[in-house]
Amino acid sequence: MSAVTVPTPTIPRRRLPRSEIRAPDGGRQRVMLAAPRGYCAGVDRAVIAVERAIEHFGAPIYVRKEIVHNRHVVETLSEQGAVFVDDTTEVPEGARVVFSAHGVSPTVHAEAADRSLATIDATCPLVTKVHKEAIRFARDDFRILLVGHAGHEEVEGTMGEAPEQITLVQNPEEARTVEVLESEKLVWISQTTLSVDETMATVNILRQRFPQLQDPPSDDICYATQNRQVAVKKIAPEADLVLVVGSANSSNSVRLVEVALEHGAKAAHRVDFAREIDETWFHDVASVGVTSGASVPENLVQDVLALLADYGFEDVDEVVTAEEDLMFSLPKELRKLG
Ligand code: 2E7
Ligand code: F3S
């Protein structure tokens, strides 16, 4: 795991009187901690890439967009010497820039080359796989229906591989209205961090409308997204409250809140930090589910558990639905440094 563990944010010591936070039926207050949760292999690799680049080349190291969608990670790396920019035009000519885990379009690579930037590509290998699918299907004259969300960096990067041939379909409603030419060969691919269930609902509508629609060769929703959704589905039916640690712009974290609610959680909230937890959320709550998105360092989850213990939720059961041991090698530009 990377070194981004940083100081514990201050946890508020406000406490409700115990009588107000006791389990409604007098039963025990408990926490169900989802596993897997937190960092995936692609995030670990991307964060380490920035840290290694700073160590080896010295600050500043420019990073195009947030390396991963987590406030704490971005703030911590900024303190270490990373400079986050929105566009390669903000990077001084000839300087070194890291591309984020979400991937970039060929245009961004070309702009960086034009400005003689030294690039380190931290695109998750599972995103690169989707880019390669898009390139191959475009070369084979397919119309590609990309299931994903407009404006997300991953979607911008993937669409940039074949802008003329990719049509974005954001949800089941858009699947009902999207138009394609009758003569076109059709395939769907997807963003890696979507809700599995909503994506299948979208694809099923597309299949009914377009019987010629082909499936991608393998799942595009990545293993980490799927595993975190399976784990939260397991705890949600028994949870009076689910807390998801993750940032507002983190697609996979936001999906975890939705999935928790769809699978029976009585309430679910996303927080970046333990200090954002509102004590009114604990009224009439006996069981709290806790999970975190793929871009979230574990110390932020531990802060949430510490705060929960402070409110009387001291019993923590980890609910394990999968083991993960995938690791990716560092971006090639860093591997050769040893
Ligand atoms: C890269 C990719 O940074 P995240 O919160 O990103 P999302 O896509 O969920 O907003 O999580 C890690 C990650 C996920 N997917 C990084 Cl393509
Ligand atoms: Fe990659 Fe999936 Fe993580 S696409 S960065 S392994 S959430």
320: left (phi over 0), alpha (psi -120 to 50) or beta: beta
Q: Which ligand is nearest to the CA of 270?
A: 1
Least Cα distance to 54 among 124, 3, 104 occurs for 3
Catalytic residue list: 154
Q: Which SS3 state, helix, strand or coil, does residue 230 take? A: helix
Tell me which residue has tokens 């290998």.
125
Cα-Cα-Cα-Cα dihedral of 9, 231, 323, 196, to 10°? -110
Which residues form ligand 2's pocket by a CB distance below 6 Å? 40-43, 101, 124, 126-127, 192-193, 222, 224-225, 252, 294
The H or E element spanning position 270 is strand 268-271
CB contact burial 45-67 (16+ within 10 A = b; e otherwise): bbbbbbbbbbeebeeebbbbbbb
Work out the angle at residue 173's Cα, subtended by the Cα atoms of residues 168 and 176, and round it to the nearest 5 degrees.
85
Cis check for the bond before 24: say yes or no (omega within 30 of 0).
no
Q: Establish whether residue 295 lines the binding site of ligand 1, counting it when its CB lies within 6 angstroms of any ligand atom.
A: yes
- pLDDT tens digit at each of 338 positions of the chain: 444 543 434 434 344 444 455 566 666 899 999 999 999 999 999 999 999 999 999 999 999 999 999 999 999 999 999 999 999 999 999 999 999 999 999 999 999 999 999 999 999 999 999 999 999 999 999 999 999 999 999 999 999 999 999 999 999 999 999 999 999 999 999 999 999 999 999 999 999 999 999 999 999 999 999 999 999 999 999 999 999 999 999 999 999 999 999 999 999 999 999 999 999 999 999 999 999 999 999 999 999 999 999 999 999 999 999 999 999 999 999 998 86
Q: Looking up tokens 């394990």, which residue turns up?
A: 320
Phi-psi region of 282 (alpha: psi -120 to 50; beta: other; left: phi over 0): alpha
Which phi and psi (to 5°) does residue 135 adopt? -60, -45
For residue 124, the CA-to-ligand 1 centroid distance in Å is: 9
Q: Is the CB of 148 under 6 A from ligand 1?
A: no
